[in-house]
A and B are shown apart, each in its own frame.
Chain A
Amino acid sequence: RKEVEQDPGPFNVPEGATVAFNCTYSNSASQSFFWYRQDCRKEPKLLMSVYSSGNEDGRFTAQLNRASQYISLLIRDSKLSDSATYLCVVNGGNFNKFYFGSGTKLNVKP
């Protein structure tokens, strides 16, 4: 079983839509969680950390469910510029080892 699993998509949505991605992780001892965004042929960039209480940054909301071992990312009012691959990342705990999901591709259409 993979450490981190994501639906690869693609998610094709119109501008203005709300879209949600989920990600599950296998290690219950995981301590920190992140969402990254990767544009084609570019490096991954940190989108937001995910906190136990949930957190929001503008149109983006991240949630963590430790009991079910999943994290989610909600994007409201999608923009064309949101088109990218979204990577779920989990820190393994004992050492600073990070586990990346394979990414969920989002295409926002006009």
Chain B
Amino acid sequence: GAVVSQHPSWVICKSGTSVKIECRSLDFQATTMFWYRQFPKQSLMLMATSNEGSKATYEQGVEKDKFLINHASLTLSTLTVTSAHPEDSSFYICRGDRGRPEAFFGQGTRLTVV
């Protein structure tokens, strides 16, 4: 079945630094990649939607300058958390879409900002 590989699975960074999270679709072309954030004991909230070769669309309340999304190819999308702060500590997970209702989620990244 289709697989989305996400890494790193966990990362600890210092406040003020930037962190990049990668999602690769291994055996299909993800025309659209969705990025979600999940705070402890809460549900997954959609942050942004990216289409290959175009700018990402951000959900209300998500700072586009803080969460930089790049979807340069059909198999790779990246989320960069810039100038990270402790309140950005969260679980980030991506989902690749190839125009079918089945979901292809990455394994998720646990970000801790200290």
Say whether A associates with B. no
Q: Residues of A at under 8 Å CB distance from B?
A: none
Seen from chain B, the residues whose Cβ lies within 8 Å of a Cβ on chain A are none
